[in-house]
Amino acid sequence: MLLSVLISGIIVFPSSFADDHVNGTANNGTSTNSTSTEENMVVDDQIEILVDDKEEMMEDVEMMENLEIMEDKIVESVLSPLKQIKEGVSPENIVCKEGLELIFKISGQPACIQTSSVEKLIAWGWAQ
């Protein structure tokens, strides 16, 4: 095909060339308005699909950001051990915030303590 283009100097769009020869209406390299209109419609459809995909991706990103904010609020909303006990949670089932560990004082009262401090407090006799 490239060789024939170089020899004749005429560039033909492959889709219009094939359509014209199948129908027996070769137009010697000139294009028709219907073909360019069809091509424009295809391009418009492709652009619309890309825009829709971009909008969906932006909605997904926004939803993920909202989910991360909600997860942060959940972590912040963990009540202190005393408040959990007042709401009826048994001492063994108390939940501590992230980075804290549940231990029991010598008196049996639960406490949420930094993981790095647990061994020291047990060694000092403050916790069991």
Q: What is the pLDDT of residues 33-83, one digit of tens each?
A: 556 777 777 777 778 887 777 788 888 878 877 777 666 655 557 889 999
**Global pTM?**
0.40
Q: Is residue 8 part of a domain?
A: yes
Q: Which domain does 106 fall in, by range?
A: 81-123
Q: Is residue 128 part of a domain?
A: no
Q: Is residue 52 part of a domain?
A: yes
pLDDT at 93: 92
Same domain, 69 and 43: yes
Tally of domains within the chain: 3
- Rounded CA gap, 95 and 79, in Å? 8
pLDDT at 72: 61
The separation between the first and the last C-alpha atoms of the chain, rounded to the nearest angstrom, is: 87
Burial of 12 (0-12, 13-18, 19+ CB in 10 A): buried
pLDDT at 5: 45
pLDDT at 95: 92
Same domain, 24 and 53: no
pLDDT at 1: 47
Who's near 109: CB < 8 A, 6+ residues apart?
A: 81, 91
What would the two tokens of residue 83 be?
């408040």
Q: Is residue 91 part of a domain?
A: yes
